[in-house]
Structure 1
Amino acid sequence: MTTVLERPPVLRPARDRARLLCGLGAGALLLWSLAGSGVLGGPVLNPAGVGQLTRFAAGALHPDLSGELLGVLARATLVTVAYAVLGAGLAVALGALGAVAAARTTWGRRRAGWVAVRGALAVPRGLHEAVWGLLLVGVLGLDPWVGVLAIGVPYGAVTARVFADLLDEAPHGGYEALRAAGAGAGVAVLYGLVPEASGGMLSYAFYRLECAVRSAVVLGLIGAGGLGQELALSFTSLRWEQVWSAVYALAALCLLADVAGRAVRRRVAAPPPRATGRRDPVLTGAVLATAALALWSAWFLALRPATLVDGRTLDQLGTLLRAAWPPAGDGPLLSEIAVRAVETVQMSVLAIAVAVAGSLVLAGVAARAPRGTGAVRWAAGAAVRAGLLLLRAVPAPVWALVFVFVLLPGPLPGALALGVHTLGVLGRLSAEAVEELDPRPVAALTALGAAPLGRWLYGVLPGVARPATAFALYRWEVALRDTVLVGLLGAGGLGVLLSARLAAFDWPAVATVLAATVLLTLAVDLVGARVRAVLR
């Protein structure tokens, strides 16, 4: 007698269902964003601008290398570096101070206090550095503190959140011993967790310095000086040879920051063996050199701390706050904010979709090939990495102006500009994820005779998909903030409305638009955090 055993039904776990729902939701969100951009219906191309785009591209082969322009760019580069170093230094200082208050460990079971601190940090980081710059100009005028604070304040809130997460994830043995000995929560975090998390904090501090270089360039586009201002002036006058000279200078500066920051992060992640108790001389030298550079930057920009607390500054701040309170709440304004908020979300979704698709295609080629690889593969990887560097070195507003040549005005040029710029960032991160993959699956597929496409689909893509998705969700919040920046140039979204209200000095409406921007950023952050938790 033969017994036939029926296979029990396969039940999909709740996590798999949640991942499926996230995938379906992402697809629906993308289709909705495409429909809102006008791609699925109606004309979007501007054929009249093809000639201008051709001249712009041709300028890449003939940059202006005259001594006069190179001298101007050298001076502008120093201004950009000074703003970046001081802004990043201020951000790290503020982040270190706020991390203890923002750490979940500090609050224990008092969740309400932790939520309140995290909510307070969402306000400064919810506004783009360019928005901070425009607001600070109204208080400080054209003082160099504008550029430093515009970078330091929002970056400080971001750094505090990241540092707090590092504290929460650090080994808690020392913290628990101090608490058992009667130390307060704050003291125990300071002496029991900070030393354990110091390596990760140092690594992130140098990463934030890399980001500050790009932010300093963006601030230059709104008049803060430096390479961004020279780039904007050349672009406005349609001097494409000078534009490309500034672009190449930007790329060189970003490359230097990337290489230095990456070397420090690798040193932190895999320190060389050394005698117990001795500091790493390379990391110590990097910290001391950065501190010296910060002192030089303060001298170069002629910063005066007294400017922040003098009578004029305080009077201007009080006048601005009184003018903006209470925020406007009339129906027509709220309706326009709702429409522009929809445009903002759609632009950010399209930007991330473009960046993710491009990064997955290019990540395998951009990853540094192992030793012994042929010259063609090495050259292709170097070319793609250089292209990604160029994409992220050029600010998104400049890409928006380029796309306006061949696309009709509206949200689409801004979305593609953000997508191209974000591709430069995600492409690099995805390439690094490919470099860190276990090489054995690819080697096995190669031994079995699999084609390059098969090796990529079955040996690389499954391993890089999860970190690439996590990176994309982190960058979604950044892209949402950046939509305000391109919107200030007329590319759609809340930035258009903010620009119009700032031009009219309608401060109550400005306050309402800024509040809507912060809330929208916070909502995207919460959605991204939830999706990341599902994907773990």
Structure 2
Amino acid sequence: MTAVLTRAAPPEPQLRRNRRRWGWSLAGLALVAWSLAGSGLFSGPVVNPAGSGEFGRFLAAALRPELDAGFLAVVAEATLVTLAYAVLGATLSVLLGALGAPLVARAGWGRRRAGWLATRAALALPRGLHEAVWGLLLLNVLGLDPWVGVLAIAVPYGAITAKVFADLLDEVPRGGHDALLAAGAGRGTAVLYGLLPAAAGGLLSYSFYRLECAVRSAVVLGLIGAGGLGYQLALSFSSLRWAQVWTTVYALAALCLAADVAGRAVRRRVTAPPPGGAAFRRDRLLTGAVVAVLALAVGAAWYLALSPAALFSARTAQQLEYVVSAAWPPTTDGDLLGTVGSTALVTVQMSVLGIVFATAGAVALAGFAARPRVPAGPARRALGVLTRLGLLLLRAVPPPVWALVLLFVLLPGVLPGALAIGVYTLGVLGRLVGEVVEEADRRSGEALRASGASPAGSWLYGTAPAVAGPVLALALYRWEVAIRDTVLVGLLGAGGIGVLLSAETSSFDWPAVATVLTAIVLLTFLVDLVSDRARAALR
């Protein structure tokens, strides 16, 4: 009897895991149903037929962009400004992340879990606010200074980079680290010499990924007045000059493509170094990439005429003191709290619908976005190139611009904002899901094809199960990012808590601004927590 009971015990953990998976799956479906109900899709008209003509003119202008020499010169100058903000912001964020990672890594705290949790919690504020929100706050402190754009990227990206760097440090083998501690070295020294060399490749790879993201963030900051391509895009859009809009969009796509290609080359070199046993630090391509970025950062600082004195001037100190003192204590008025709660729910609904749309689109396009492993015909290669270029255009245009375009054909509400988030996120997820398909184990699908199954059947029953887990994990991760993007869409009037933040900032009601910002940080933290638990349950 004892032996029988002992053999029967192991299935229980698997049963609990299955129950958790079913529970989280049902909760996810309920969340999607609630978001659909709140979108108004089934309760009334959502289409605006009167705007179809303008929407058609917008699409038609894609084939005839503005090519006037004077406007091209303006776009070229705006491109340099965007690149300068991106390079400086990314470089500074990597520096902040490198300095903060040892403080956030679990290895640096040992058994002192409370200290480790406190440092992690301290990153919630800078990570929880979108770059555009930081830009608005810094604008009130620094005025029209180029430091606004640089710091608006560096502050949230620095916190995110510190967390990721710390996770990378915690994942490498700890033999050298433990040996240094046993020899009497301090924890900081043990992390520096025992963990950092082993994690160097992953740290460099992620640093170049941050540069790719910084390009898109620099464009977003232009929409709120920081200059560059985003500012030019906003000017052309507000005057309905669609040919100019598409010229700017193509310039954005070219800049994003250059950043994507450079980042992909560096990451591939890190994960698959050249043969011959050359050490990572001696790789000429990686060394040249780092030197090039540092040179670009120096050139960007000169081009933007950054002055460190602007950060430490008396005026800056006075403005910072005024904003902080004016914002404390935050407003606890019942009417405002009720509005914060209702707009936060709208923000969640927009983000959920956006992620569902993006995930469905990414899965549908994954077969075309993925580069084939075997030689393909010219039609398949052309379709793949067009798909990848289309995804690049989708993620090159910021979500607020997609929201403004969709408002031509959709009535104001949750749906335009959700679709704007979905279209932009489709551009990002489509690329990531395509890479997952490229790297997936296809032996099951190939075996099904060899046994006579159709291409669709071999994909559905062979390849799809292997990529389902990574795709769900990517979708949940992008949900965390979508919450921040939804706030950005709201800042420009598409709905959600961002609209409330924009209104309170415009009226300089700093206590109310502090309340809304606190709600945004808490909302982001809760979504991060739910997403993390869901990924763990579905793993």
TM-score range, shorter chain: over 0.9
Report matched runs for 1:216-365 at 5 Å. 216-277=218-279, 279-365=282-368
Aligned amino acid, residue 103 of structure 1: A
Cα drift, residue 108 of structure 1: 1.8
Determine helix, strand or coil for the equivalent of 2:331: coil
Cα drift, residue 365 of structure 1: 1.1
Aligned amino acid, residue 210 of structure 1: E
Corresponding residue number in structure 1 for 2:100: 98
Determine helix, strand or coil for the equivalent of 1:193: helix
CA distance in 1, matches of 2:282, 2:474: 32
In the alignment, is the contact (CA less than 8 A) between 1:355 and 1:422 conserved in 2? yes
Picking from 14, 17, 20, the partner of 2:16 is 14
Picking from 44, 47, 56, the partner of 2:46 is 44
Corresponding residue number in structure 2 for 1:215: 217
Confirm whether residue 435 of structure 1 aligns to residue 451 of structure 2.
no
Cα drift, residue 276 of structure 1: 4.9
Confirm whether residue 59 of structure 1 aligns to residue 65 of structure 2.
no
Corresponding residue number in structure 1 for 2:188: 186
In the alignment, is the contact (CA less than 8 A) between 2:103 and 2:119 conserved in 1? yes
Corresponding residue number in structure 2 for 1:169: 171
Aligned amino acid, residue 46 of structure 1: N
Cα drift, residue 440 of structure 1: 1.9
CA deviation string 1:280-325 (max 9, x = no partner): 0100000001100000000000000111001111111001111101
Determine helix, strand or coil for the equivalent of 1:475: helix
Report matched runs for 1:368-407 at 5 Å. 368-407=371-410
Corresponding residue number in structure 1 for 2:4: none
Corresponding residue number in structure 2 for 1:422: 425
Cα drift, residue 369 of structure 1: 1.3
Provide closer, same or farther for how the CA distance between residues 213 and 22 of structure 1 changes in structure 2, counting only shifts above 3 A: same
Confirm whether residue 457 of structure 1 aligns to residue 465 of structure 2.
no
In the alignment, is the contact (CA less than 8 A) between 1:364 and 1:456 conserved in 2? no
In the alignment, is the contact (CA less than 8 A) between 2:441 and 2:463 conserved in 1? no
CA distance in 1, matches of 2:83, 2:100: 25
Corresponding residue number in structure 1 for 2:71: 69
CA deviation string 1:251-300 (max 9, x = no partner): 11100100000000000001012355561010000000110000000000
Aligned amino acid, residue 154 of structure 1: P
Report matched runs for 1:455-494 at 5 Å. 455-494=458-497
Corresponding residue number in structure 1 for 2:411: 408
The sequence identity of aligned pairs, in percent, is 67
Cα drift, residue 55 of structure 1: 0.4
CA deviation string 1:433-476 (max 9, x = no partner): 00001232222122122222212211221111111111111111
Aligned amino acid, residue 200 of structure 2: S
Corresponding residue number in structure 2 for 1:4: none
CA distance in 2, matches of 1:237, 1:456: 47
Aligned amino acid, residue 439 of structure 2: E
Confirm whether residue 119 of structure 1 aligns to residue 124 of structure 2.
no
State the TM-score, normalizing by the size of structure 1: 0.97
Root mean square deviation, CA, Å: 1.3
Confirm whether residue 517 of structure 1 aligns to residue 516 of structure 2.
no
Report matched runs for 1:136-175 at 5 Å. 136-175=138-177
CA distance in 2, matches of 1:373, 1:490: 46
State the TM-score, normalizing by the size of structure 2: 0.97
Cα drift, residue 490 of structure 1: 1.5
CA distance in 2, matches of 1:47, 1:88: 43
CA distance in 2, matches of 1:16, 1:442: 25
CA deviation string 1:164-198 (max 9, x = no partner): 00010011011000110112222211211111111
CA distance in 1, matches of 2:463, 2:225: 44
Off by >3 Å, runs of 4+ in structure 1:
8-12, 274-278
Structure 1 unaligned runs (5+)?
Answer: 1-7
In the alignment, is the contact (CA less than 8 A) between 1:410 and 1:490 conserved in 2? no
In the alignment, is the contact (CA less than 8 A) between 1:129 and 1:150 conserved in 2? yes
CA distance in 2, matches of 1:382, 1:354: 22
Structure 2 unaligned runs (5+)?
Answer: 1-7
CA distance in 1, matches of 2:107, 2:536: 19
Confirm whether residue 34 of structure 1 aligns to residue 32 of structure 2.
no
Determine helix, strand or coil for the equivalent of 1:449: coil
Aligned amino acid, residue 289 of structure 2: A
Aligned amino acid, residue 311 of structure 1: A
Task: Give the total of aligned pairs.
Answer: 529
CA distance in 2, matches of 1:379, 1:442: 24
